[in-house]
Amino acid sequence: MSTNRQTETPMVEITDVHKRFGNLEVLKGINLTVPLGKIISIIGPSGSGKSTLLRSVNHLEVIDSGTITLDGVAVNRPDIKGLAFERHINHIRQNMGMVFQHFNLFPHLSTLDNVTLAPRKLKKMDKKIARELGMELLDRVGLADKADVFPAWLSGGQKQRVAIARALAMQPKVMLFDEATSALDPELVEEVNQVMQSLAKDHMTMLIVTHEMGFARDVSSWAMFMDGGVVVEENTPDKLFTAPDQERTQNFLRKHL
């Protein structure tokens, strides 16, 4: 798992990012690199800024200062406005697949149509080709037999697997997961973790926020502990989860392992 971090290609690069909501500074100078093909996990207590950080990568939150790049391209472009910025950010977002705690599937579309909507609309993909791609992705998450079913008929674990298939449909350069399993009943967590594990095996670049320490330890190339808007400590998962240096990390893990 350990690698020479200097020689890796950065897919997402976050440099000295600050974000405040009114008087509350939520991100206080975050630095983080997600190298191509690697899996970075972020852990930390509720309210530490993990979701804000992930949302900032996707420009769902606008950062106050610092830089975020995707494959070398700046996400924030205060120098361009209006339609030009819309085009820029849509292009960036098409290269990022985001999976949230709540699945946000389109309730009026079948699972297959949920998966194929973006490539059909945004890439103008032919209906038949989109259908083939959609079926391949549903098969990949173990749901080929649910192609014509509406989301309301699926379990939480199945919904989340559809959400992952949908995020993959645009062939993103990176997948962002924000507590993808924390809304699921415990018995449904494993099936979603398995899909994420299989993406890891295929060298998908991933940035994962999770409250599941065991999963983070197994799947990650690098793990970070955030608290109070700062990265308190980061290391290989073996080191971070078994012998953290910082007292704040030790206290957190004592409660959560």
- For residue 31, how many other CB atoms are within 10 A of its CB? 14
Contact mark string toward ligand ADP, 6..45, x via CB under 6 A: ---------------x----x-----------------x-
- Report the partner that residue 96 touches, choosing among Mg ion, ligand ADP, none (CB closer than 5 to 8 A by kind): none
Question: How many residues form the binding site for Mg ion (CB under 5 A)?
Answer: 1
Amino acid at 119: P
Would you say 6 or 46 has its CB closer to ligand ADP? 46
For residue 71, the 8-state DSSP code is: T
DSSP structure class, residue 9: P
Cα distance between residue 230 and residue 243, in whole Å:
20
110 scored as a contact of Mg ion (CB under 5 A): no
How would you classify the pairing of strands 10-21 and 230-235? unpaired
Q: Which is nearer to Mg ion, 142 or 228 (CB)?
A: 228
**H or E segment to which residue 29 belongs:** strand 24-35
Whose tokens are 């299989």? That residue is 198
Name the binder of 49 from Mg ion, ligand ADP, none, CB < 5-8 A by kind: ligand ADP
DSSP 224-240: EEEETTEEEEEE-HHHH
Q: How far is the CB of 44 from ligand ADP (least distance, A)?
A: 6
Q: Considering the complex, what minimum distance in angstroms separates the CB of residue 10 from ligand ADP?
A: 23
Contact residue for Mg ion among 41, 51, 158, 210 (CB under 5 A): 51
**How many chain residues touch ligand ADP (CB under 6 A)?**
10
Minimum CB distance to ligand ADP smaller for 16 or for 238: 16
Read off the tokens for 63: 């950062």
- CB atoms < 10 A from the CB of 94, how many? 16
Residue whose CB is less far from ligand ADP, 32 or 137: 32
Residues 39-78 that bind ligand ADP (CB under 6 A): 44, 46-52
Report helix, strand or coil for 227: strand
**Are the C-beta atoms of residues 68 and 34 closer than 8 Å to each other?**
no
> Residues interacting with ligand ADP, by CB under 6 A?
21, 26, 44, 46-52
> Residues interacting with Mg ion, by CB under 5 A?
51
